[in-house]
Structure 1
């Protein structure tokens, strides 16, 4: 018997493919959970943004993908969000990590929401 004839048989291969496809589909469900979690964190960050004109807080927004939740601040008209958040030692700008602090302060809410969504997705994959 040659190496080509070794013959490995996988039992349940059809069910495995179906489960993996379902798991991939359920990742799409997590996109909404990531967005919702990011919305909570963004909401917690807005009041923490340093205020001079109020423009910076108005640029805080949430996003979600299959694999991550993201909060962003700044835009072309408000390019200073990064230096305000992270600081810029060469320019004497102290860091004010309002996005990170807002996410941390709201962590219990968005973590619970995410775990519920993940549990729901896993139950669908398991067929329950």
Structure 2
């Protein structure tokens, strides 16, 4: 289960930055930093019975996106805990949605900061 904030035109910005000499690893570091911060927020909002769900929150290392993922095959209950499961009397916690709402404005500013830092470091400004 992943949480997404879509930024229109971001793929083109990434392609253009690579075309003028920005390394994919620089972009990976920038998006990884944003995803890690988002994962920390999601983890802090995740319900805790054993803490396993909160510990399994992680960010990615892609060159063109920051994705926070919660759950995997060994933790199949991430979806029902977040979205609920009325047939099993599981109330939706909505921790991913809460994190999205509070993280979106900050994530866009962080993305701009990271990209501007890369551009300045490469002497492209």
Tell me how large the CA RMSD over aligned residues is: 2.8
State the alpha-carbon separation in 1 of the partners of residues 96 and 81 from structure 2: 10
Counterpart residue number, 1:101: 98
State the alpha-carbon separation in 2 of the partners of residues 103 and 21 from structure 1: 28
Aligned length: 110
Unpaired runs of at least 5, structure 2:
1-15
Counterpart residue number, 1:40: 37
Counterpart residue number, 2:53: 56
Unpaired runs of at least 5, structure 1:
1-18
Deviation at 1:37, TM superposition (A): 0.9
More helix by share: 1
- Structure 1 residues 117 and 26: CA distance shift in structure 2, 3 A: farther
| 8 Å Cα contact 2:46/2:54 also seen in 1 | yes
SS in 1 for 2:114: helix
